[in-house]
């Protein structure tokens, strides 16, 4: 999520917004790991996309654990 969210930033997550709204950024658990990525619904499922071009988008495998924690609505820089 570089360019938008940097390592060490504190995220503001709205846990009431756990329904995927195409193109929004979410905190989610996938295969026992916590992620922060843009989620896009496709005809075949869900694609996780990073703003950091070093990371390739990936499809959410329906056979693995997946749970949306909430929509990321802000980030705060540490001082």
Transcribe 2-59 into DSSP letters: TTTS-TTPEEEEETT--S--TT-EEEEEETTEEEEEEEEE-SSSEEEE-SSTTS--EE
pLDDT of the residue at 3 = 56
Cα–Cα dist 7/17, whole Å: 23
Indicate whether this model's pTM tops 0.75: yes
Q: Burial, 72: exposed, middle or buried (Cβ in 10 Å; 0-12, 13-18, 19+)?
A: buried
User: In 10 A of CB 65, how many CB atoms?
Assistant: 10
Mean pLDDT of the chain: 91
Q: Report the top-level CATH class of 10-76.
A: mainly beta
pLDDT of the residue at 5 = 83
pLDDT of the residue at 72 = 96
Q: Write out pLDDT tens, residues 3-32.
A: 578 888 899 999 999 999 999 999 999 999
């Amino acid at each position: 999520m570089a360019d938008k969210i940097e390592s060490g930033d504190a995220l503001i997550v709205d846990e009431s917004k756990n329904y995927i709204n195409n193109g929004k950024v979410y905190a989610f658990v996938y295969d026992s790991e916590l992620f922060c990525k843009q989620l896009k619904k496709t005809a075949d499922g869900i694609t996780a996309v990073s703003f950091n071009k070093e990371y390739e988008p990936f499809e959410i495998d329906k056979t693995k654990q997946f749970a949306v924690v909430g929509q990321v609505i802000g980030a705060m820089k540490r001082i």
